[in-house]
Amino acid sequence: MLIDNKSIAIVGGGPAGLTLARLLQLKGTDVKVYERDFNKHARVQGSPLDMHEDSGLAAIRKAELLEEFKKTFRPGADRTLIMNEQAQIFFNDHETKPEEDFGEEHFRPEIDRGPLRNMLLESLHPETVVWDSHFLTMERLNEGWLLHFKNGTSEYADLVIAGDGANSKIRPYLTDSKPVYSEIIMLEGNVSKENAPQIDAMIKGGKIMAFGNTKNILLGQKGNGDLGFYASFKADENWPADSGLDFSDHTQILKWFKTEYSGWSPVWDELFENAVTPFIPRLIYSMPSDQTWEAQPNLTLIGDAAHVMPPFAGEGANMAMLDALELSEYLTNNSYSTLQEAISDYEHHMRKRAAIATQESLENGERMHSEKSLATMLDFFNGHITSL
């Protein structure tokens, strides 16, 4: 294989990086994952993910982890309520959603990020992940790269694969492309079900999507019962600083919510009154659809480092894991004479499909924040239209 006797450094231990490490180890390659977290317990993992048949689940199957996935995914977590701002239910598939199973095209099983990460970590050889490795810089050395980390260590790799997310520090070594702001911000919060009893009684382990006045509230219940939620709205890119809000202050955030979400039912207040602080403003970005760069023989990108994916089509983790699957196939394909050729073909195909998914997601985001958002979502979930 092209990567025989080559050392591979994956920077970033998210779904893309860990999936790629697993797939490459199944091929017998020498791979390390450099992750900035101090250890696997350093951060609470975010909202649940739905895995798609031709991307996330395809990668899990290839990684020989489908049986483990079946032990940890959450049946019923994809049940959905669609509401207006007054918490009136317009769509409820808790009783009517047909039973689906693995292998069916539209089956999208949900899994919490933490269990997904743990499943991938446990599948790797001991000491594959080098924790507390916050990437700073790298420089060319021989045919590869010498990477430097904040903890003072340096490591050499023949091939570097950047899976270090939307704010990738490695992307500039390959391309000048920069993320473009979508004009949408999602204010993230997390609250225990005990502190949001009205919402907990409605959500019943699934999802809630509420639309009104060009704004959204999007919720998903995690395996431990906690409610992860987002207040999603359009705002200037400088809003987090210009708002003057202290995101650790419940009183300020609740006052902001009551003002900006004027007319919304008081039922939503318990989310903002009782959430774990700080709230986190998530600015939604995407990469230019026409981005391109010259392929290198010793460096490439996966996941959000390659294509920052807006969240409005559920494609982020799925595209990232598909990157890992496809890159592993290109790197171990004996039909290529050089790594540069293999990487070039991977990147060309990856950019093309990522651009399509990004455009779909951006268009969904616009529809979800339009005056007709509720009607559009109802048409989609009731099957009157096939895409948002």
Contacts of 240 (CB under 8 A, 6+ apart): 185, 247, 281, 283
pLDDT at 1 over 70: yes
Which of 286, 316, 331 is at the close of a domain? 286
Q: What CATH number should be reported for the domain holding residue 342?
A: 3.50.50.60
Q: Is 43 flagged in the annotation as binding?
A: yes
DSSP letter string, 252-266 = HHHHHHHHHTTT--G
Which of 236, 254, 286 is at the close of a domain? 286
Q: Is residue 320, in this structure, part of any structural domain at all?
A: yes
pTM, whole model, 2 decimals? 0.93
Let me know whether 294 and 358 are in one domain.
yes
* DSSP code at position 279: P
**pLDDT at 339 (0 to 100):** 96
Q: Is residue 103, in this structure, part of any structural domain at all?
A: no
Q: Give the residue ranges of DSSP H helices in the chain.
A: 15-26, 56-62, 66-72, 113-123, 197-203, 239-242, 250-260, 269-274, 316-331, 339-368, 373-381
Residue 235 lies in domain:
180-286
Let me know whether 12 and 64 are in one domain.
yes
Considering the chain, what percentage of its residues have pLDDT values greater than 90?
A: 84
Let me know whether 323 and 310 are in one domain.
yes
C-alpha span between 115 and 51 (Å, rounded):
13
For the segment 235-246, what is each residue's pLDDT rounded down to a tens digit?
A: 999 999 999 999
Structure tokens at 15: 């779904």
Q: Is 50 flagged in the annotation as binding?
A: yes
> Which SS3 state, helix, strand or coil, does residue 164 take?
coil
Q: Is residue 357, in this structure, part of any structural domain at all?
A: yes
**pLDDT at 101 (0 to 100):** 73
For the segment 79-119, what is each residue's pLDDT rounded down to a tens digit?
A: 899 999 999 999 998 877 766 678 777 788 999 998 999 99
Instruction: Report which of residues 32 and 97 the model is more confident about.
Output: 32
Out of 44-48, 307-311, 314-318, least confident range: 44-48
Let me know whether 330 and 261 are in one domain.
no
Let me know whether 276 and 299 are in one domain.
no
Q: Across all residues in the chain, what is the average pLDDT?
A: 93
Q: Is residue 231, in this structure, part of any structural domain at all?
A: yes
Q: Is 36 flagged in the annotation as binding?
A: no
Q: Is residue 49, in this structure, part of any structural domain at all?
A: yes
Let me know whether 220 and 243 are in one domain.
yes
Neighbours of 252 (CB within 10 A): 16
Q: What CATH number should be reported for the domain holding residue 276?
A: 3.30.9.30
Q: Is 249 flagged in the annotation as binding?
A: no
Angle at 161 between CA 154 and CA 9, to 5 degrees: 40
- Phi/psi at 37 (5° precision): -60, 145
> Which SS3 state, helix, strand or coil, does residue 359 take?
helix
Q: Is residue 311, in this structure, part of any structural domain at all?
A: yes
Out of 65-79, 92-106, 214-228, 283-297, least confident range: 92-106
Q: Is residue 276, in this structure, part of any structural domain at all?
A: yes
Let me know whether 197 and 232 are in one domain.
yes
**pLDDT at 385 (0 to 100):** 56
pLDDT tier at 387, thresholds 50, 70, 90: low
pLDDT at 139 over 60: yes
Q: Is residue 152, in this structure, part of any structural domain at all?
A: yes
How many domains are contained in the chain? 2
Which of 237, 268, 286 is at the close of a domain? 286
